[in-house]
């Protein structure tokens, strides 16, 4: 993908305060068509605030948002027409039928009368909710309501999609289906996916921007997180003494190990750099004796935990 092409989204220096609380500080990133950016962070980190500012639902105290070369502060309505937004709280009229609701959204978006039916049919097809066209939204499951809301975001064929916690509250099968849907949508859109679930980012995103306490602390390809995980060894250690308490206390005093309890009293999970393996073995022998040592794959959650520690 050529980087000479102007980005679909350019965010620079966003700042926002709520009274004494500094919600955002110098938040910035760019996004190209065909990219899925995972905006990742713990609850309260500033993800939803960032999404609301990009969509124009909330005013920033500083910084700028540009969508397809259009500055939000100069032409906010034109920017909004270029964005499809799926908020965490779904804005659905539950007593309306799916097709009628989407037609109503077309009217609100100013889509010409002759285009409305085509837009509704195509949006339902892309969001995989055509089979519910005549059903009232109230009768749909959470996953199917999510698809209707996504179809609404697709109306008007916006180049930028903003998805705020799109799989929140879905069961595992619905989550898997929705992730497949996001990957298909990325063929025609730039997508910002806000989540606090690292597995979500790993499954569908090309890049990740980690936000913590209102700041972007990492903006990198998803492969960078995987490479960071590869630099740390997770080791399952079982001691001969039958009680790993003494070993856990000893490891807590080191700068090179992060420890969590295993599935039994004689076992610990230890995250450490491979170069520290010899030091680990020596410490185990002094505090319970080594009965078993095996290496496991480090989950990306461990990398995220280190970033926000």
| All structural domains of the chain | 9-227 (3.40.50.300), 231-308 (3.30.70.920)
64-83 pLDDT, tens per residue? 999 999 999 999 999 999 99
pLDDT greater at residue 147 or residue 303: 147
Report pLDDT for 298. Answer: 62
Is the whole model's pTM more than 0.75, yes or no? yes
* Of 47, 49, 53, 44, nearest in space to 9 by CA: 53
Report pLDDT for 108. Answer: 93
| Residue 296 in this model has a pLDDT that exceeds 70 | yes
291's tokens: 């009965």
Report pLDDT for 174. Answer: 83
| Residue 3 in this model has a pLDDT that exceeds 80 | no
Report d(CA 70, CA 78) in Å as an integer.
Answer: 7
Report pLDDT for 199. Answer: 80
| Residue 228 in this model has a pLDDT that exceeds 90 | no
Whole-angstrom CA distances from 222 to 105, 198, 199, 219 are: 35, 10, 11, 9
| Band (309; pLDDT cuts 50, 70, 90) | low
236 backbone dihedrals φ, ψ, rounded to 5°: -95, 120
174-193 pLDDT, tens per residue? 888 888 999 999 989 999 99
Report pLDDT for 209. Answer: 92
Report d(CA 198, CA 300) in Å as an integer.
Answer: 7
104-144 pLDDT, tens per residue? 999 999 999 999 999 999 999 999 999 999 999 999 998 89
| Residue 240 in this model has a pLDDT that exceeds 90 | yes
Quickly tell me which residue has 């004494």 as its tokens: 20
Question: Coil, strand, or helix at residue 163?
Answer: strand
How high does pLDDT run on average in the chain? 89
pLDDT greater at residue 175 or residue 159: 159
Report d(CA 19, CA 42) in Å as an integer.
Answer: 21
Extract long-range pairs of 275-280: CB within 8 Å, 24+ residues apart: 277/233, 277/235, 279/254, 280/235, 280/237, 280/251
Quickly tell me which residue has 């990009």 as its tokens: 54
| Residue 1 in this model has a pLDDT that exceeds 60 | no
| Residue 262 in this model has a pLDDT that exceeds 80 | no
| Band (168; pLDDT cuts 50, 70, 90) | confident
Report pLDDT for 92. Answer: 94
| Band (2; pLDDT cuts 50, 70, 90) | very low
């Amino acid at each position: 993908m050529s980087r000479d092409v102007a980005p679909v989204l350019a965010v620079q220096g966003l700042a926002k305060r709520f009274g004494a609380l500094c919600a955002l500080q110098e938040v910035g990133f760019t996004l190209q068509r065909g990219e899925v950016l995972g905006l990742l962070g713990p609850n309260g980190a500033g993800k939803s605030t960032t999404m609301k500012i990009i969509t124009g639902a909330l005013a920033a105290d500083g910084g700028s948002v540009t969508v397809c070369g259009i500055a939000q502060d100069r032409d906010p309505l034109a920017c909004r027409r270029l964005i499809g937004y799926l908020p965490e709280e779904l804005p659905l009229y539950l007593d309306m039928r799916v097709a009628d609701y989407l037609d109503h959204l077309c009217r609100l978006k100013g889509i010409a009368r002759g285009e409305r039916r085509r837009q509704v049919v195509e949006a339902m097809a892309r969001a995989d909710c055509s089979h519910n066209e005549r059903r009232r939204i109230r009768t749909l499951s959470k996953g199917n309501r999510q698809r209707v809301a996504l179809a609404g975001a697709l109306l008007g064929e916006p180049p930028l999609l903003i998805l705020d916690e799109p799989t929140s509250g879905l069961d595992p099968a619905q989550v898997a289906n929705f992730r497949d849907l996001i990957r298909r949508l990325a063929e025609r859109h730039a997508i910002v996916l806000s989540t606090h679930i690292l597995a979500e980012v790993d499954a569908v995103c090309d890049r990740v921007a980690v936000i913590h306490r209102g700041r972007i602390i990492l903006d990198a390809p998803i492969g960078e997180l995987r490479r960071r995980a590869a630099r740390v060894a997770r080791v399952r250690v079982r001691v001969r003494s039958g009680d790993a308490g003494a070993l856990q206390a000893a490891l807590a005093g080191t700068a090179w190990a992060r420890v969590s309890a295993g599935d039994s009293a004689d076992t610990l999970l230890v995250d450490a750099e491979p170069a520290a393996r010899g030091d680990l073995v020596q410490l185990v022998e002094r505090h319970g004796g080594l009965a078993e040592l095996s290496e496991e794959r480090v989950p990306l959650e461990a990398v995220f935990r280190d970033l926000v520690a």
